[in-house]
């Protein structure tokens, strides 16, 4: 799958995007894989949403290798 990182998450990982093999995993299992590769994401997990193919993902959603996954940090505006 293609994983996209935005804002401060891009700084934490050092890359704007990465490829990850994770067929048939839940959001929780995907987070575990992400944290193995980029431990610095742990500080952002509680406030970061996952989006799968342009739609916010729920905890029970199943992710596949052909998915595009975006890690969406909180945004503020004004």
Q: What does the pLDDT average to over 55-76?
A: 92
CA angle 14, 60, 48 (to 5 degrees): 30
At residue 78, does pLDDT exceed 60? no
Residue-range domains of the chain with CATH: 2-72 (3.10.20.30)
This prediction has a pTM of 0.91
Query: Taking residues 11-27, what's their average pLDDT?
Result: 96
Confidence check: pLDDT of 61 > 70: yes
The yes-or-no verdict on residue 73 having pLDDT over 60 is: yes
Rounded Cα gap, residues 29 and 26, in angstroms: 5
- Please classify residue 63 by burial: count the beta carbons closer than 10 Å to its beta carbon, then call 0-12 exposed, 13-18 middle and 19+ buried: buried
Residue 76: pLDDT band with limits 50, 70, 90? low
């Amino acid at each position: 799958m293609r994983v996209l990182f935005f804002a401060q998450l891009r700084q934490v990982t050092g890359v704007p995007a990465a490829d990850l093999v994770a067929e048939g995993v839940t959001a929780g299992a995907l987070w575990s894989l992400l944290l193995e590769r980029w431990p610095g994401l742990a500080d952002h997990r509680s406030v970061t949403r996952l989006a799968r193919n342009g739609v916010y993902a729920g905890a029970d959603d199943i992710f596949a290798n052909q998915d595009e996954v975006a890690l969406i940090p909180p945004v503020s505006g004004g």
